[in-house]
Amino acid sequence: MIAVAMSGGVDSSTAAVLLKEQGRDIVGLSMQLWNQRRSLPGDEVASEEQELKRSGRCCSIDDIWDARRVAAHLDIPFYVLNLEDEFEKTVVAPFVGSYLAGETPSPCILCNNYVKFNHLVERASQIGAEKVATGHYARVRHDQALGRWLLLRGKDTRKDQSYFLFGLTQDQLSKTVFPLGELSKPEVREIARCAGIPTFDKPESQEICFVQSGSYADFVEKYSGIQQDKSGSIVNAEGRVVGEHAGIHRYTVGQRKGIGAAGKPQYVVQIEPGLNHVVIGENSLLQRKRFALRDANWIAIETIEKLDGPIRCDVQIRNRFEPQPAAVWMEDGEVLVEFDSPQRAITPGQAAVFYWDEVVVGGGWIKS
């Protein structure tokens, strides 16, 4: 049996359609991750209009209802897993902590790594499912020569989501199915339409599910209960104070808006949490070649520590970034990456994922 992670969207719904058409025994699982009606300190009571806006976000109550409708249409069993505690502990709290530490987090990757595939695989096995399927645009295969499970880009390069899945372990990959890996988005919608899926034309969610106001900084302040003054200095590259900020969690490397600098365009080039400084400068100062990595996960290789020297690969340092050639190696217990040419806004807290063509070698998190 295969447990299909059903979010209520067209992708996961189509994944279920394809598996059922193949004659597979499937069950639908939805995950309740965040209480959309939860109030944080300082929140006002939501109006009816605001509640409707919340319902259009990823993993909302309406999404779970849509998933239930699809499961009923396909005549498959359906269950809802309450993973709110796990989600808050492994996604929301690190998201807030990362911003307060001067980083720019990627909560969707944390959710995939520590909730959707970690807890989902475990819960699925408890109901007798040997594998888990999702609607991600990626592929997985076993390489007998290497003796390893490999993660590959989805065939539709515009929708490829392998970047968000770099943290999957060998055990998780061995139990994962990506039915959409060979398809394009238009093909997926057409399959859903022909199958009579009620959500075949549902728009894609673009928002982070737990940030209801649209302001990450406001959420960080409310969730962490910030009461004291978090203001500090904005300094230039020479260390001269040129302004004041209202908290480093309101800035990210590469940002231009909200700095308030006059004259030539200025950008955030570095955040120094220890000094509570936001460093600004011209665009040229954002160009860098080398950075260090933390919490690396390796997929196509066992570990970089056993290699004699650097590996050559293409490195992607954020979503919608064209991977660039680089060398990756281990030095003094630390994974280092050096691009062949300088790249703009290498941002602490974001993921760096390594590719050999369409194969994910591994990845990790850019350090401060």
Distance CA 365, CA 313 (A): 17
State yes or no: pLDDT of 44 exceeds 60.
Answer: no
State yes or no: pLDDT of 14 exceeds 90.
Answer: yes
pTM assigned to the model: 0.90
Is 111 a known active-site residue? yes
More confident of the two residues 208 and 290: 290
Distance CA 351, CA 96 (A): 16
Please give the CATH topology (third level) of the domain spanning 229-281. Answer: SH3 type barrels. (2.30.30)
Averaged over 218-239, what is the pLDDT?
86
State yes or no: pLDDT of 212 exceeds 80.
Answer: no
Is 209 a known active-site residue? yes
The pLDDT assigned to 39 comes to 59
State the Cα torsion 225-229-230-235 to the nearest 10°: 170
State yes or no: pLDDT of 53 exceeds 70.
Answer: no
CATH 3.40.50.2300 fits 288-366, yes or no: no
What CATH architecture applies to the domain 2-194?
A: 3-Layer(aba) Sandwich (3.40)
Which tokens sit at 38? 């939860």
Residues 6 or more apart whose Cβ sits within 8 Å of residue 253: 104, 268, 269, 270, 271, 286, 345, 346, 347, 348
pLDDT band of 228, cuts 50, 70, 90:
low
Which tokens sit at 112? 């995939």
**In the chain, which residues fall in CATH 2.40.30.10?**
288-366
State yes or no: pLDDT of 289 exceeds 70.
Answer: yes
The pLDDT assigned to 51 comes to 42
The pLDDT assigned to 47 comes to 45
More confident of the two residues 121 and 328: 328
As a whole number of angstroms, the longest Cα–Cα distance in the chain is 68
Q: Which of 58, 59, 209, 313 is catalytic?
A: 209
**In the chain, which residues fall in CATH 2.30.30.280?**
229-281
Q: Which of 58, 59, 108, 111 is catalytic?
A: 111
pLDDT band of 42, cuts 50, 70, 90:
low
Averaged over 321-345, what is the pLDDT?
96
